[in-house]
Structure 1
Amino acid sequence: MANPLLDHASPGDLADRGQTFETEGKIQDFKRLLEIVEADLAEVPAQLVPAQWRMAPVGIKLDFSWADSKKEFPALTGQVTANIAALCQRCLEPCEIAVETELKMVLVKESPRLKAAETAFSEFEVWELAEDTIRPLDIVEEALIMALPLSPLHSSRDLCGQLADDVVQEKSGTARPFADLKSQMGK
């Protein structure tokens, strides 16, 4: 069965139909996201990389409609959720981060209409389109990439590996040669 998220379609046509997508994909369905995660996990010894991380589910719910009564501005609302493998920046071991992003956007093709959309729909994020058609999967992928944290961390320090413990112990034994300088400056 064909995946309708892969089909190119006009945002206006999707809005006219009131198109709704509620499906589940896999991390491996998103090429650019896959490349980002692979690059991150390449720093980890192979035996520590989660075995089936590419098969992790991505929950997708998209609703197309019109943002205005004149049917000039197609809107997309929805939610995308995923648990994505990443490299914890605290302990440098693999971790799983929960990514959840809400979509509420107006899709605009022409630049003159862009300013009007930004003014009229302040509650929406305005996305300027390069083409007349979109692939819903591309929007989902972009939303996931933008929702990734800059520094992924385990949800709790207790979940971190040995390196995080070593850093904490090292900090407690750190010599501070200028610690008394502040009190001396006040004299």
Structure 2
Amino acid sequence: MSNGPLPNRVDPRKLAERGVRISGEAGVKSLPNLCQSLVDKESVIDVDLQFSVDEQRIRTVTGSASGRLFMTCQRCLEPVEVAVAAEFNLGIAASEEAAKQLPRSYDPLIVEAEEIELLPVIEEEVILSLPFDAYHDDCSIKTSFGKSEAAVEETEKPNPFSVLAQLKADNK
């Protein structure tokens, strides 16, 4: 078991054969594609990965990655804290053809060379767990007139068909 900074490169097949567990933190700064969706680049992701071989002799990577990240609120455009939790259930495959043979319960991790970079794998799973649109639960947006959206909805709006109602009443 490893605990601390995550290794940059690993050989997942060898780790699976040995039943190695890797735990550590990944700084968001080292995940450039994830950074594009975030406001704060100082956050960290806690990662726990278990490499193993299942009963069908498939090498697997299971585990989780979680953390608290800051995205832009889609209502007020201010930072909002978002909890992310990604679950890993990867089956290691040597090629696209081998990946097609994996059971549906596994997402394929194609490893053509001996080693892979670990952080991009984690980054992809975390990106998939991000909410589509982040917003504060108690966010009140300001309209161009300076009133909150809730206040605008509460004001009485004139009925555009009230003129027709008067015409109908006049015809009776």
> TM-score band, normalised by the shorter chain?
0.7 to 0.9
Asked whether the 8 Å contact 2:66–2:83 carries over to 1, the reply is yes
> TM-score under structure 2 normalisation?
0.76
* CA 171–62 in structure 1, closer or farther in 2 if over 3 Å, else same: same
Q: Higher relative CO (CA 8 A, sep ≥ 6), structure 1 or 2?
A: 1
**Could you list the runs of 5+ residues in structure 2 that have no partner in the other structure?**
163-172
Does residue 58 of the first structure (1) align with residue 40 of the second (2)? no
* CA 171–4 in structure 1, closer or farther in 2 if over 3 Å, else same: same
Asked whether the 8 Å contact 1:87–1:153 carries over to 2, the reply is yes
Does residue 78 of the first structure (1) align with residue 80 of the second (2)? no
What is aligned with 1:97? 82
Larger-Rg structure:
2
Shift of 1:108: 1.6
Q: Once the two structures are superposed, what CA deviation does each residue of 1:42-99 show, in whole Å capped at 9, x if it has no partner?
A: xxxxxxxxxxx322221110111123444xx321100100111111112221111000
Give the alignment's Cα RMSD to 1 decimal.
2.7
1:32 alignment partner AA: N
Asked whether the 8 Å contact 1:60–1:80 carries over to 2, the reply is yes
**Distance (Å, rounded) in 2 between the aligned partners of 1:86 and 1:107:** 32
Percent identity of the aligned residues? 21
Shift of 1:134: 1.6
**Distance (Å, rounded) in 2 between the aligned partners of 1:78 and 1:146:** 15
Higher strand share: 2
What is aligned with 1:172? 154
> TM-score under structure 1 normalisation?
0.70
**Distance (Å, rounded) in 1 between the aligned partners of 2:109 and 2:160:** 52
Q: How many residues are paired up?
A: 156
* CA 81–175 in structure 1, closer or farther in 2 if over 3 Å, else same: same
What is aligned with 2:95? 110
* CA 172–65 in structure 1, closer or farther in 2 if over 3 Å, else same: same
2:94 alignment partner AA: K
2:91 alignment partner AA: V
Higher helix share: 1
